């Protein structure tokens, strides 16, 4: 099939989750070994920075392995102050429809040439896949090719997903690819109807071949039992709650484990002998940290899919997650790969239990790994994607046969 992938940013050096998901799928669906193999064109912007959307890559056509990439320039960078005011207004509820539409335009990236390409040449593609509902490339692009649009919303239960305008938007695409069953329920609930055809695909992981050396950890002063947080240390990721809970936990115990934070800090981290903030860590150290952790902690309230949670299970490491996040609670329940907490008392009980019961800890880790083997290996993910794409295309052709030559 001839596919277009529309994504706000694209490149090997882009760190975002949805961008990485898009690129992995594009590369894997176009490789010679792929069965079946697809012809993928990525339609994206020249932006590298998701805050400003400033042009960084040259516009025009290039290749990423067998993927054709067409970059369109961003007309103007994001105006942060008006965007912040508009975000307050729109998430507050009751904003008129034109202000809601304005939020998506202001959120950007503002790439009119990309939208013109979709309007003029969208029908040349069998299907057009859009990543992330919240960006202008998807919000304004889906209606232009609605009969062949497949949306990967990457939606989480945050205030923006409650914006009224999305009720119409979520009904427009011809098909849907979701990351988790919870995301599928959330988007269906927002659309006010069941959404079909749809598939829940998650993402793919390669098996881990060997556990990393502990020497890397000792070099960073990490010895003994530790629980690990991986990602941006940010209030929006629930880190203020995690740090508060952990300080109370450590204060009440004579020999608590260390909480290791691996990721850039966007908030103040308390100076505490049992909290070790490493900042950004390279991949090799990150692997070593994950594979030797007693547990991974995921405190976020908003997730569409926690890839770091899957990575921990890929290493056979159990997880302790925030149960108020439906996605995390659902992932842990389905995998039986850890414990979910709703309060400080449950957080403490979960850590105590995992640290005091190595057999239970190993069992949770093994169950998590079995879940990843069952659901999140690339051949499984690609087969689900391919089946959905064929279903959407067949349905479109039934409704609207392609004109003959």
Does 167 interact with another protein (rule: CB under 8 A)?
Answer: no
Torsion of CA 326, 330, 336, 339, to 10 degrees: 0
Select from 60, 93, 96, 279 the one that contacts another protein (CB under 8 A): 93
Largest interatomic CA distance in the chain: 78
From the CB of residue 58, how many other CB atoms can be counted at a distance below 10 Å? Answer: 9
Provide the minimum distance between the beta carbon of 280 and another protein in the complex, in angstroms, as a whole number. 27
337 Cβ contact list (under 8 Å, min separation 6): 313, 318, 319, 331, 364, 365, 367, 368, 369, 371
Q: Which range touches another protein (CB under 8 A), out of 132-140, 198-206, 245-253, 340-348?
A: 340-348
Does 236 interact with another protein (rule: CB under 8 A)?
Answer: no
Provide the minimum distance between the beta carbon of 70 and another protein in the complex, in angstroms, as a whole number. 38
In what helix (H) or strand (E) does residue 320 lie, and over which residues does it extend? strand 319-322
Residue 89 or 386: which CB sits closer to another protein? Answer: 89
Does 244 interact with another protein (rule: CB under 8 A)?
Answer: no
In what helix (H) or strand (E) does residue 28 lie, and over which residues does it extend? helix 17-30
User: Peptide bond preceding 109: is omega within 30 degrees of 0, i.e. cis?
Assistant: yes
Does 234 interact with another protein (rule: CB under 8 A)?
Answer: no
Q: Which range touches another protein (CB under 8 A), out of 41-49, 202-210, 249-257, 337-345?
A: 337-345
Does 357 interact with another protein (rule: CB under 8 A)?
Answer: no
Select from 13, 61, 92, 98 the one that contacts another protein (CB under 8 A): 92
Does 185 interact with another protein (rule: CB under 8 A)?
Answer: no
CA nearest neighbour of 173 among 203, 198, 199: 198
Does 340 interact with another protein (rule: CB under 8 A)?
Answer: yes
The answer to whether the beta carbons of residues 160 and 107 sit under 8 Å apart is no
Does 374 interact with another protein (rule: CB under 8 A)?
Answer: no
* Contact residues for another protein, defined by CB under 8 A: 85, 88-89, 91-94, 162, 324, 339-340, 342-343, 345-346, 349-350, 353
């Amino acid at each position: 099939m001839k596919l277009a992938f529309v994504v706000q940013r694209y490149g090997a050096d882009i760190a975002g989750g949805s961008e990485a998901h898009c690129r992995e799928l594009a590369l894997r669906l176009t490789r010679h070994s792929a069965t079946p193999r697809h012809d993928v064109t990525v339609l994206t912007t020249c932006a590298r920075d998701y805050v400003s959307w400033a042009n960084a890559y040259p516009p025009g056509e290039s290749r990423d392995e067998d993927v054709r990439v067409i970059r369109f320039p961003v007309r103007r960078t994001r105006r942060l102050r008006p965007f912040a005011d508009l975000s307050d207004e729109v998430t507050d509820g009751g904003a008129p429809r034109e202000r809601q539409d304005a939020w998506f335009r202001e959120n950007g990236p503002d790439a009119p040439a990309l939208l013109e390409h979709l309007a003029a040449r969208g029908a040349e593609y069998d299907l057009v896949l859009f990543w992330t509902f919240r960006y202008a490339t998807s919000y304004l692009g889906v209606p232009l090719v609605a009969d062949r649009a497949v949306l990967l919303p990457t939606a989480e239960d945050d205030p923006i997903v409650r914006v009224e305008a999305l009720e119409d938007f979520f009904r427009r695409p011809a098909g849907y690819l979701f990351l988790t069953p919870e995301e599928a329920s959330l988007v269906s609930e927002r659309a006010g109807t069941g959404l079909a055809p749809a598939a829940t695909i998650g993402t793919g992981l390669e098996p881990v071949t060997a556990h990393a050396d502990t020497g890397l950890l000792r070099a960073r002063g990490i010895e003994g039992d530790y629980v690990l947080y991986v990602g941006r240390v940010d209030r929006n990721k629930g880190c203020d709650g995690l740090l508060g809970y952990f300080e109370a936990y450590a204060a009440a115990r004579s020999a608590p484990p260390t909480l290791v934070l691996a990721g850039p800090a966007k908030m103040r981290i308390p100076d505490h002998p049992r909290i070790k903030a490493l900042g950004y860590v390279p991949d090799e150290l990150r692997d070593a940290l994950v594979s030797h952790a007693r547990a991974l902690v995921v405190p976020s309230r908003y997730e569409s899919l926690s890839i770091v949670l899957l990575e921990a299970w890929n290493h056979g490491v159990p997880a302790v997650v925030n149960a108020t996040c439906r996605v995390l609670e659902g992932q842990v329940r389905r995998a039986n790969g850890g414990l979910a907490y709703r309060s400080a008392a449950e957080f403490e009980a979960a850590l105590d239990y995992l640290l005091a019961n190595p057999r239970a800890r190993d069992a949770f880790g093994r169950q998590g790994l079995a879940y990843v083997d069952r659901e999140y290996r690339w051949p499984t993910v690609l087969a689900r994607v391919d089946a959905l794409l064929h279903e959407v295309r067949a349905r479109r052709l039934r409704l609207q046969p392609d004109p003959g030559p």
